[in-house]
Amino acid sequence: MTIPTVIETAHGPLHLPVYFPDATRGVVRTVDSRDLEACGVQGLVVNAFHLSTRPGAGLIKQAGGIHRFMDWRRPIASDSGGFQLMSMIRENPRYGTITRRGVHFTDLDGNRKKTLFTPERSIRLQFDLGADLVICLDDCPSPDASPQEVEAAVERTVHWAERCRAEFDRQVEMRGQREGPGPLLFGVIQGGYDRELRARCAAELLPLGFDGFGFGGWPISPDGELALDILATTAELVPDALPRFALGVGKPEHIVRCYLKGWRIFDCVLPTRDARRGRLYVFDAGSLDQVDLRSTSFYHFVYVRDEKHKREGDPISTACDCLCCRNYSLSYLHHLFDIGDPLGMRLATLHNLRFYTQLLERVSAL
């Protein structure tokens, strides 16, 4: 069996490998849907929990779904949002508790409202949004969790996955078959850095019949390195026919290394966040076809605020065809950041996203 190179969705195909920018709250900050299309972005990830609090899943459903709401015509994956919720609770227990039933969350930063976030609720939310790629609620332990805590998280992840599967099937039946492919359901494999627990989690999830699998947990180990061994082990646990989603993996060199281990879908806040802070990604080679992704370093950063760019008449990169590089000098971009104009962040974001779409095109040729 070979690894698929395309996933069909109701909003068109996803050509693998693919990188999804994070549109957590229904927007990739500073850019709009036309901008994203122009960069060659194939799909986005939204956060079901965040959207359910603002503006509310009901409002988005009434607006015709998240695609119509943000006028994005290509595929959307929705993250259950459990990862953020659980991180908050584990850092500060006043935010709530995690039980077998679900996540009991108190909104300490807002109206102090208490919500019970269950696997069923997470799936219903993702259906209300109209996501093409639905991700199960899973229990992600903190990176320094004890072996007992990791084992408990695996047990809970499997239990929640069974409930997600059942609710997903109920929703498909209730809402009726639309034309074209329906949404896909991805399970998430937990197990920390323990190979046996990863294997056990995968063995219990596989019979539930998911359309793909995500890497659950922290892809970056506590010492800051990519946890490539456990990523490789986890990839091997998934049959090649099912797409593998390296949730949260996104540094360019990490994408390359994970791709070589079988991972095909990536999402990460880094390139867009870096862009807003004036950190730009540039391939080392003068032209794209000279980029050697297998070398230890194939790109570098340009810090737009650096004084040395004040009079730089060239664009960020002559090898880039983004809106910014085609039309504007680094000097102009430096000026925009200097005066704090939002256009600077938009142009920088477009550049970094184009770097990523070009990177993924190159990766697919490896």
Contacts to Zn ion by CB under 5 A = 320, 322, 324-325, 351
Which residue from 310, 315, 350 is spatially nearest to 331, judged by alpha carbons? 310
Shortest approach of Zn ion to residue 235 CB, angstroms?
32
- To the nearest 10°, the Cα dihedral for 128, 130, 136, 142? -90
Distance CA 251, CA 319 (A): 20
Shortest approach of Zn ion to residue 318 CB, angstroms?
9
Shortest approach of Zn ion to residue 282 CB, angstroms?
8
Closer residue to Zn ion, CB minimum distance, 10 or 323: 323
Closer residue to Zn ion, CB minimum distance, 127 or 356: 356
Shortest approach of Zn ion to residue 317 CB, angstroms?
6
Q: How far is CA 206 from CA 290, 325, 338, in A?
A: 41, 46, 52
Distance CA 20, CA 76 (A): 9
Closer residue to Zn ion, CB minimum distance, 188 or 322: 322
79 a catalytic residue: yes
Stretch (H or E) spanning 46: strand 44-47
267 a catalytic residue: yes
The alpha helices in the chain, defined as continuous H runs, are 33-38, 48-53, 57-62, 66-69, 82-91, 119-129, 147-175, 195-205, 228-236, 252-260, 270-276, 323-327, 330-338, 342-363
- 330 burial (CB, 10 Å; 0-12 / 13-18 / 19+) is buried
Before 13, cis peptide (omega within 30)? no
Closer residue to Zn ion, CB minimum distance, 171 or 357: 357
Q: Is the distance from CB of 4 to CB of 265 less than 8 angstroms?
A: no
Closer residue to Zn ion, CB minimum distance, 38 or 63: 38
Shortest approach of Zn ion to residue 144 CB, angstroms?
39
Distance CA 119, CA 135 (A): 10
- Among residues 22, 35, 79, 211, which one is catalytic? 79
Tokens for 244?
Answer: 């593998």
Query: Apex CA 106: angle with CA 100 and CA 108, to 5°?
Result: 150
Q: Is the distance from CB of 70 to CB of 129 less than 8 angstroms?
A: no
Shortest approach of Zn ion to residue 167 CB, angstroms?
43
Distance CA 190, CA 154 (A): 6
What phi and psi, each to the nearest 5 degrees, are found at residue 22? -85, 120
**How many beta carbons lie within 10 A of that of residue 204, not counting itself?**
18
Shortest approach of Zn ion to residue 195 CB, angstroms?
41
Closer residue to Zn ion, CB minimum distance, 238 or 325: 325
- Among residues 132, 139, 211, 267, which one is catalytic? 267
Q: Active-site positions? A: 79, 267
